[in-house]
Amino acid sequence: MGTIYGYCRCSTDETRQDIDRQRRELRKLGVQDENIYWEYVSGRKPNKVEWSRLVEKLDVGDTICTTEVSRISRSTKELCEIIDLAQEKQIKLVIGSIVIDCGKNDPMTKGMLLMWSVFAELEADLISQRVKSGMQNAKAKGVKIGRPKTSLDNLPANFIRHYPKYKAGDLTLVELARLCGISRQTAYKYRTIYECNE
C-alpha cells in the first residue's frame, strides 16, 4: 500500500482559517500531518513550490488527497498534465469524497475531472474580473491599492518570538514556518528582512 499525501492551497495568507479547514478535512481522509503539503500561492501560478515537492515524493500506488479540484489547479491545461502524471505514476486522486484511481485508464473519470477544471478556471476568471473592477473603483476614489510593504516593524510577533530558536539551530526553517503557520517561502522572506536589520 502506498503513502497517502495531502495538498492544500490558498491564494493569500489572509485566508488562514480556510487553509486550516482544508488541513482538518485532509486529516479526516487519513492523511498524517507530516504528509500534508500546503502553501499560499495563486492557483494560476505555474510553479508551486510545495506542490512540486509533493510530486517529487510520489511513488507508484501513492494517493494525493485534496478538498476540491481548484486547490490543485485552476487551469484545464495544468489539470491535463496532473492527470497524465497520475496515470504515469498509477496513483489515486482523492478530491473531497470522490476517489479517482488513475491507474485505471477510465475516459469517464478523465472527462469528469476536466469538467471540474473548466468550472474552476471560469470561477478564477470571474474572481479576477471582480477584483480588477473593485480596484479601478477604489483608485477612482483615491484609495491606495496594495499591501503595505513588509518590514522589520510589521513582521508577525510569533515569527520574531520563535526566530531566535531557528538562529540557535534548534529549529529548521521548515519547522519555523510550520510553528508560525506560514509558508516556507514567507519564512525565507521574513528571515531575509530580519537578517538585513540585525
Please check the confidence at residue 15 and state whether its pLDDT lies above 60: no
Give the pLDDT confidence score for residue 23 in this predicted structure. 92
Task: Pick one of 3.90.1310.10, 3.40.50.1390, 3.50.50.60, 3.40.190.10 as the CATH number of 4-117.
Answer: 3.40.50.1390
**Every domain of the chain and the residues it spans:** 4-117, 152-196
The confidence score (pLDDT) of residue 77 equals 72
Distance, in Å, from the CA atom of 16 to the CA atom of 122, rounded to the nearest integer, reads 24
According to DSSP, the residues that pair with 40 across neighbouring strands are: 10
pTM score = 0.56
Which of 37-41, 180-184, 189-193 has the largest mean confidence?
Answer: 37-41
Which of these ranges, 61-70, 71-80, 93-102, has the smallest mean pLDDT? 71-80
SS3 143: coil
Say which residue, 45 or 14, is predicted with more confidence. 45
163 pLDDT higher than 80 = yes
For the cut 80, the answer to whether the pLDDT of residue 61 exceeds it is yes
pLDDT at 39 over 60: yes
Q: What is the mean pLDDT of the chain?
A: 78
Q: Which residues are known catalytic residues?
A: 11
Can you tell me the distance from the alpha carbon of 146 to that of 136, in angstroms, rounded to the nearest whole number? Answer: 12
Extract the C-alpha cell encoding 162.
520563535
Contact between 10 and 28 (Cβ < 8 Å): no
Q: Enumerate residues 6+ apart whose C-beta is below 8 A from 140.
A: none
How do residues 76-123 score in pLDDT, each as one tens digit? 677 777 777 877 888 888 888 777 776 665 666 666 666 666 655 666
Instruction: From 123, 159, 113, select the one nearest 43 (Cα to Cα).
Output: 123
What is the reported pLDDT for 63? 92
The three cell numbers locating residue 132? 480588477
pLDDT at residue 155 above 70? yes
